[in-house]
Structure 1
């Protein structure tokens, strides 16, 4: 047996013997001082633990210290009643606290007992009971969390075993604390009973056996009884306080002192308020100013030092963060982050920072949220997050829009001006800076605040700079939407449909078409500004024809025909006539004869001379419609629509090309020109 084990065994046996054998006065004084020392050590250890399990022996220690204290009570009671003397420690506590007044001593003793019994012990008992219950209730969930982390590979088997053991130890600890708190409660009750026994027994023995008067016996035995009660109750109060600290402490990165200084004293501005309040109390109330003012000054000084420390800590953290960023840049792995390309970027010069700064009234972020909602409703896709950043390499009032890292549009703004677009005739009284509207390329002028109202009365369309940017960004997103929808975005759209139409999705993917095949069809539709919001109809059509062909161009044509009502409403207002440019029979025949077949599908192989003639004659018809203020639309047969679209992609990408099968039968069509070879 080790020496430490032998000492503990001898100590427990000695505690039991103390209740039976009389102790000499000098040894009793030593043991009383040891009792106080043990109590102080326990409360200090309890204050410095970061986790309750660091002091897991506390429930057993609580029983031993309670037994030790009761054994000392028995020994001191024996000496008080037998010899009217319990040593210098008991006498000193009794005479010093009572200060020659027995009533004061009794009141102080009763207050200590009541504080321990009603306040600390009762609260600690309740907290331990609730903690034990909650710990047991939470065990299954914690075990499942450990198993989930183990299955996910976040922890290994050894770490899982350690966590399970910790959960089991927590349950055992709080269960033991629930029972051990009863020891402290019983100790407080025993202290009151021993007090009564000592006084009554002392009066009887003093008067009947030692021939003392009632006043002499009352004085001697009362002082000794009070001293005995204080010597035992003060350590008991310290240990019960330690029990309350341990069961009420949550797991933390520091001890009690660390948490107090970092949590309570982390708000220096509140200390200034407290300091001011104390100063007002000292000046305007009967409280003496020389008591309140020094305390107020001390609090204010403490707040100042705390605020200074916080500023210094913030600077150190910023420096540390900068150093970490520098280290990350120097590390080889930092190059990987440079490979990331944002889908959409909006960069602007420093002069346009107020557009995005909410503190300066900028609402660009809110407008971008509305743009994404608008594109979701009109196009049926989720526009990726638009990255906004300033760029000192740009002109102060310049901005650029990038798609996947490449610039696709740019423009310039004058923040304190308005963009005015002419209604078709110019007003000589409206003066400004000539420019071009960035979204549609229309001629416009920048006017100041004083000219705005006069321009609106003259029929000009007047727009503020944020609206100009929002419109331009919206048009760019719509124009390049087909580039923003990849396989990942397509899968997200399909998963959304699957929640309501699981049979449809399961029927088409992956047995009929892959996600990549569907993505190609959606991209072709968006390229011609056809909304894919009705994804159910699109998938239904692909499910019907996907088993016959995998050619995305042909599948797109089938989908367009299925979306005829949507396409008709997109280009024709209710009750209106669709004015179009029709493709003549000679041109249709030429295009049909130029279609070639390959392993990758069909394509249009047209000679350069014929292509140039088609471009020239179609441009004449388009210009005629534009001059009359109408939208040019080309109408052709379903068999050659996609080939004509391929032909016009480079020069007339914005001109819609429709087929007869994509229009509702009820639509009245008026031909404004015919294109022939």
Structure 2
């Protein structure tokens, strides 16, 4: 008994030391901290109550004192445990996130436009899902590669996304977020296109080819062999979209080439002809002027693959004029053989239509500002005659070509663009000296009398 009593001071001293040490880093009141450490944990109080209760059952011990103290501590520990459980059950108040009034918008909030976009209805998603056998992505990549090789610059990637505002089978092609083409395809079916001469009719859904506007029929895959035997051209849905995309990108190629792309072309040329590029940009022309000339070429379907010839022509003529239209005309002359081959292939003779001499002189005078403008009835008659002559040339298997003087070529090209499908307007200077031309149509010989208006 004496030994147990002798240990009590040591126990009190150790407890006091522990309380002081743990209180060094806390600003809480000493009395509150002692109470919180001794009675803050309900489990510790319950364990102490259990031990005191066991000691109270030992024979010879003061049972009333120990058991009363155990009951008191047990009740206190149990009530503390219930309080903790109730506190945990209460949901924490939800703090609503309030936007910071001080935070302003930034350039990250400005969405960029897609260079090339393709939106599809929900039934067409399977065409771009490779897990379901969709091959549209690989075909679009092939279209980009082919066009990049043909046009002479890198075609941007195509951003494909679904659009619930479209009908389930509809797709839409956009350039700079502006719709430039749309169509409708039916997954699981194939499109039989009438090229102009077929033998028989097909059962299916009649429609128009979205690319060229030809008569077509949506048929089942089992009808493919019969359709081909009749002379139809049969393609699947992925080919329809890819072909349409290719045609649209060709028509809008000039919108896809910017100064960054031109700089890449010049950098590539600079590896083999550094002096030429150094003298041209910024020596003689700015990057903006060079870009505009290349856009002019692309707008009329002229490839810019021969970047060396283009740069040399610009370097040669930029000292005489800084006008981009005049420079484009000189570049076209330098690219004469390329233009001729793109229009007529490797043939030695090209069938063309020309303007009546009097009509050509009237147009030249009007463009140069000698006298006044042109009568609308005259231009309407000329446009109609050119359209009819183009159809006759196409029926004979020739590309429609209008050969005119260089001074009016650009005016007529802009006037007729979009009015006559597949028409090429060339200047006499653009025909290579080694090639022959055959005039098969003269436009304006039956035009109404021309008159000038002030």
For the criterion TM > 0.5, the same-fold answer is yes
Contact 2:405/2:427, CA 8 A, preserved across alignment: yes
Secondary structure (helix, strand or coil) at the match of 1:340 reads coil
Contact 1:350/1:392, CA 8 A, preserved across alignment: yes
- Which residue does the alignment assign to 1:609? 377
- Which residue does the alignment assign to 1:245? none
Contact 1:456/1:462, CA 8 A, preserved across alignment: yes
- The structure richer in strand per residue is 2
CA distance in structure 2 between the partners assigned to 1:554 and 1:364 by the alignment: 42
- Which residue does the alignment assign to 2:330? 558
Alignment of structure 1 residues 563-578 onto 2, 5 Å: 563-575=335-347, 577-578=349-350
Is the aligned partner of 1:636 residue 2:418? no
Report the TM-score, using the length of structure 2 for normalisation. 0.72
Equivalent residue in structure 2 for 1:462, among 208, 211, 234: 234
- Which residue does the alignment assign to 2:153? 381
- Which residue does the alignment assign to 2:351? 579
Equivalent residue in structure 1 for 2:301, among 529, 539, 549: 529
Report the TM-score, using the length of structure 1 for normalisation. 0.49
Equivalent residue in structure 2 for 1:471, among 236, 239, 243: 243
Contact 1:591/1:644, CA 8 A, preserved across alignment: no
Superposed displacement of residue 539, structure 1: 0.5
Secondary structure (helix, strand or coil) at the match of 1:651 reads coil
- Which residue does the alignment assign to 2:80? none
CA distance in structure 1 between the partners assigned to 2:212 and 2:302 by the alignment: 19
Equivalent residue in structure 2 for 1:623, among 391, 395, 400: 391
Contact 1:579/1:669, CA 8 A, preserved across alignment: yes
**CA-atom RMSD, angstroms?**
2.5
CA distance in structure 1 between the partners assigned to 2:201 and 2:368 by the alignment: 60
CA distance in structure 2 between the partners assigned to 1:429 and 1:478 by the alignment: 33
Is the aligned partner of 1:661 residue 2:429? yes
Superposed displacement of residue 534, structure 1: 0.5
Contact 2:389/2:441, CA 8 A, preserved across alignment: yes
Is the aligned partner of 1:501 residue 2:276? no
CA distance in structure 1 between the partners assigned to 2:374 and 2:104 by the alignment: 51
Secondary structure (helix, strand or coil) at the match of 1:511 reads helix
Is the aligned partner of 1:590 residue 2:362? yes
Deviates more, 1:392-401 or 1:607-616: 607-616
CA distance in structure 1 between the partners assigned to 2:184 and 2:107 by the alignment: 33
Indicate how the Cα distance of structure 1 residues 634 and 439 shifts in structure 2: closer, same or farther if over 3 A, else same.
same
Contact 1:591/1:643, CA 8 A, preserved across alignment: no
Superposed displacement of residue 576, structure 1: 5.3
Secondary structure (helix, strand or coil) at the match of 2:437 reads strand
Contact 2:200/2:230, CA 8 A, preserved across alignment: no
Superposed displacement of residue 653, structure 1: 6.8
Is the aligned partner of 1:413 residue 2:185? yes
- The structure richer in helix per residue is 1
CA distance in structure 2 between the partners assigned to 1:327 and 1:559 by the alignment: 58
Contact 1:343/1:403, CA 8 A, preserved across alignment: yes
Superposed displacement of residue 606, structure 1: 3.5
CA distance in structure 1 between the partners assigned to 2:198 and 2:106 by the alignment: 56
Secondary structure (helix, strand or coil) at the match of 2:326 reads helix
Equivalent residue in structure 1 for 2:207, among 424, 432, 435: 435
- Which residue does the alignment assign to 1:390? 162
CA distance in structure 1 between the partners assigned to 2:199 and 2:384 by the alignment: 36
CA distance in structure 1 between the partners assigned to 2:168 and 2:439 by the alignment: 49
Contact 2:390/2:420, CA 8 A, preserved across alignment: no
- Which residue does the alignment assign to 1:548? 320
